[in-house]
Amino acid sequence: MSDEGAMRRIRPIFTEDEAYFWTTQPGDPLRLARCDDCELFLHPRYPVCRRCFSRSIGAAPVSGYGEVYSFTVNHRAWNAEPDPTYVVAIVALDEQPGLHLLTNIVGCQAEEVRIGMRVAVAFEADGDLRIPVFEPVTE
Amino acid sequence: MTNYLRGATAFIGLGKTAVSRQPEMTFGGLAVEASRRAIADAGLRPNDIDCLIAYTRPTEMHTQGMVDGLDRASVAYVQEGLGIETLRHHADVWGPGANAFAPSLLGAQAIHGGQARYVLVYAVLGRPLKRKFGELSAREWGGAAQFALPYGFGNNVQTIAVFARRYMHENGLSREDLWRAIANSRKWAMRNPDALLGEWLSYDDYMSARMIADPMSLYDCDMPVFGAWAFVIAAHDDAARAPKAPAYISAIQLGQGPRPTVWELWDDYTVMAPSYAGRDLWENAGVRPDEIDVAQIYDGFSPLIYYHLDAIGLTNGHDGPGFMRGILEGDQPFPVNTFGGSLGYGRAQGASHLYEAISQARGDAGDRQVADCDVSVATMGGFMVGATAVVTRERRT
């Protein structure tokens, strides 16, 4: 999204349990919470696995590829942004049916975003954090 | 399962305040005022009430230091305001939840279970305080909000927008169909002097409205209001002796689907909690869908009407757009949202849908009364909240 810089991003507030998501290093893959025992991804992180009730929840890398399940083009300024136009999308990741992630689509115009569009993770630096966002896959 | 409540109880009194954009009274004042009117409508005195059940949604869900009576209205506060000396049973139901429907179901259960004779149920609603995402404290973020707020996602308009886009994509729903949901509610709101938006909305005006979160424009959202709604419930034999006609409760159902805390991450955006609240509704209520005389279908956001029509099976699966076209454009007239809906009347979050359904079954809906009305249905909810109700003029057992 060309006006991405205009979006005033609120910095996430998280505990050490969710640091795997926000504090990756350059070159690191996107990681999501996953049950150590049955390997079900649990996003958002939940302290008990809903499939096998294991309490051993870790974080595991994902490919970072998926498709846009749905999206909205935001127009109203909620935080006094100079340009409040940005795309919030729900991305269905390839790893597991129903593994959805809420994110922004960057790297294209808002009007180019479509349901079913293939996207890949990208990271936006924000101080010591790296915010996972998604951009179109050009094949 | 057997619905042992079918025909066991009835609504015998209704009371409400006016709805307003700014609070004319405190939450406690609104609750007491609506309750007083409902008790009088039932031909009772406050001390006849032996059970109070509250639904109170605070002005801001996470506000610290809320004051009882000022920005919420507990059973204790309202009991005192009504001068009721003792109660045999009581419950406070907190939101977000199935306002009016959930406490009414609890009330009918209390009567049928022998815990109470006359139950007063009330719902008080207020406009949320305007706060920016960035003003939420760390404590208010909870666990899951950290995965939404940094992406500029933090309110229900955006949530319904992503749901609606997927629903429109899968079911061929258009913005013209969304307009029809609004236009139908506005059409009835024009006949209700209490409605806040009793003006016609043309398709052209709708299409030129300011977008909030595409595809949700200003007019796709209901208008937040302050107000209170109260209901008196009694056993069917007491109801038969009430001064005014009762509305018998054939069924009230709540429902919830999987993963209720993270609805924006559900894997299927074409179904919401109302579908679970609508399961076996007609069988449980003892009526057939073709017996329905009037329906109050929840419309807090315009797309919700289509989810609710699917949920209760009024439209044969996903033929909601055809149904709405038929009722609006006259070839298949059917009264839906006869009080003006949330989109025409104001954001009562289902309390006004239930209230109107009862009024219609009692033959007490004034200028908007549907002729020879017997079977009246109401629904409410969205995302993880869902409720349905069937009330009837003639008692079904």
Cα atoms found within 13 Å of the Cα of residue B239, Cβ hemisphere only: 25
| Average pLDDT score over chain A | 92
Q: Do B152 and A72 lie within an 8 Å CB cutoff?
A: no
What per-residue confidence (pLDDT) applies to B250? 98
- Residues A35-91 have pLDDT tens digits of 999 999 999 999 999 999 999 999 999 999 999 999 999 998 877 677 889 999 999
The nearest alpha carbon in chain B to A110 belongs to B214
A86 CB neighbours in chain B (<8 A) are 152
Integer Cα distance of B124 and B69 in angstroms: 11
> Could you tell me how far CA B158 lies from the centroid of its own chain?
21
What per-residue confidence (pLDDT) applies to A78? 78
Q: Of the candidates B153, B166, B211, which has its C-beta nearest A88's C-beta?
A: B153
- Are A59 and A31 in contact by the 8 Å Cβ rule? The answer is yes
Q: Do B264 and A73 lie within an 8 Å CB cutoff?
A: no
Residue A36 CB coordination number (10 Å): 14
Model-level pTM?
0.95
Integer Cα distance of B301 and B305 in angstroms: 8
Residues 6+ apart with CB under 8 A from B231: B11, B13, B14, B38, B100, B104, B107, B120, B121, B122, B354, B355, B358
> Could you tell me how far CA B129 lies from the centroid of its own chain?
21
Integer Cα distance of B115 and A131 in angstroms: 55
CA distance A138 to chain B (A): 23
Integer Cα distance of A71 and B215 in angstroms: 10
Q: Of the candidates A18, A71, A97, which has its C-beta nearest B165's C-beta?
A: A71
The nearest alpha carbon in chain B to A80 belongs to B132
Tens digit of each residue's pLDDT, chain B (397 residues): 899 999 999 999 999 999 999 888 898 999 999 999 999 999 999 999 999 999 876 555 455 567 888 888 899 999 999 999 999 999 998 766 788 999 999 999 999 999 999 999 999 988 765 556 555 555 555 577 889 989 999 888 999 999 999 999 999 999 999 999 999 999 999 999 999 999 999 999 999 999 999 999 999 999 989 999 999 999 999 999 999 999 999 999 999 999 988 888 999 999 999 999 999 999 999 999 889 999 999 999 999 999 999 999 876 555 899 899 989 987 778 999 999 999 999 999 999 999 999 999 999 999 999 999 999 999 999 999 999 999 999 999 9
Question: What are the percentages of helix, strand and coil residues in chain B, rounded to 5?
Answer: 40, 20, 40
- Cis peptide before B260, with omega less than 30 degrees from 0? no
What per-residue confidence (pLDDT) applies to A4? 46
Q: Which tokens in the block code for residue B263?
A: 């609805």
Interface mutation target, options A41, A78, A106, chain B, most CBs of B under 10 Å: A78
The nearest alpha carbon in chain A to B167 belongs to A70
Q: Do A78 and B144 lie within an 8 Å CB cutoff?
A: no
Integer Cα distance of B310 and B336 in angstroms: 15
| Predicted complex ipTM exceeds 0.90 | yes
B228-237 burial, b at 16+ Cβ within 10 Å, e below that, comes to bbbbbbbbbe
- Are B308 and B181 in contact by the 8 Å Cβ rule? The answer is no
Q: Do B146 and A14 lie within an 8 Å CB cutoff?
A: yes
Integer Cα distance of B84 and B369 in angstroms: 34
